[in-house]
Chains A and B, each alone.
Chain A
Amino acid sequence: DQQVKQNSPSLSVQEGRISILNCDYTNSMFDYFLWYKKYPAEGPTFLISISSIKDKNEDGRFTVFLNKSAKHLSLHIVPSQPGDSAVYFCAARDGGAGSYQLTFGKGTKLSVIP
């Protein structure tokens, strides 16, 4: 049972436009959500996070939106740049698990076209 789903395996966006990456989850115990970016042959790099008590968090070009009632979060990148091309993972922490265990989606490959 996949508790964190990224339904779009890939996304192509023109440079300068907005990239929107989506993520759905099923576990109501998730209390903290994170987005990571991953280049080939490297480990994931932390991008931005949001607590379940908030609905929006912004950091520069990156904004994460959380809709708890829909169990949905999204990452907006504005404006998109070619260097943003990577695989993006959505991750969630189970606040009731007693430890810091992240559950990851399978990733969305973003291609930003110059």
Chain B
Amino acid sequence: KAGVTQTPRYLIKTRGQQVTLSCSPISGHRSVSWYQQTPGQGLQFLFEYFSETQRNKGNFPGRFSGRQFSNSRSEMNVSTLELGDSALYLCASRQDQGAGEQYFGPGTRLTVT
């Protein structure tokens, strides 16, 4: 099976712009979660989607949003970018049966200048 894929891998944006990141989960996985990794804060949960519905949201401002499509692919959007949004954005998928584990993609490295 192919793993979780994320596009693009690297992105440079200017403060005030918006950005959309894409994630394709492992085939058959219906749950997709997004995390932000920064050197100071580690990995922080952004949100989780299942069957096109957001199930949970972390403690991030409304500038961070996401969606999931019927094929389980997911996108996250960050509007009005700030310098502090520079981070590695990770997507993870799972089958959503019991506890189980999440499988992560390689991430998108976003740099805001």
Contact = CB atoms under 8 A, between A and B. Distances in A.
Interface in B62-85: none
Contacts of B107: 42-43
Nearest to A45: B104
Interface in A13-63: 31-32, 34, 36, 41-46, 49, 51
Interface residues of A, number: 26
A100 B31 contact: yes
A12 interface: no
B56 A43 contact: no
A24 B65 CA distance: 31
Specify which of A34, A102, A107 lies most central, judged by the most chain B CB atoms within 10 Å of its CB.
A102
B11 to A, nearest CB: 14
Contact of B33 (A49, A97, A101): A101
Overall SS of chain B's interface: strand
A89 interface: yes
Given A98-B56, A102-B45, A43 B31 contact: no
A48 to B, nearest CB: 9
14 contacts: A36-B104, A42-B106, A43-B4, A43-B90, A43-B92, A43-B107, A46-B104, A49-B99, A49-B101, A51-B99, A99-B55, A101-B56, A102-B33, A105-B42
Interface of A: 31-32, 34, 36, 41-46, 49, 51, 89, 91, 93, 97-107
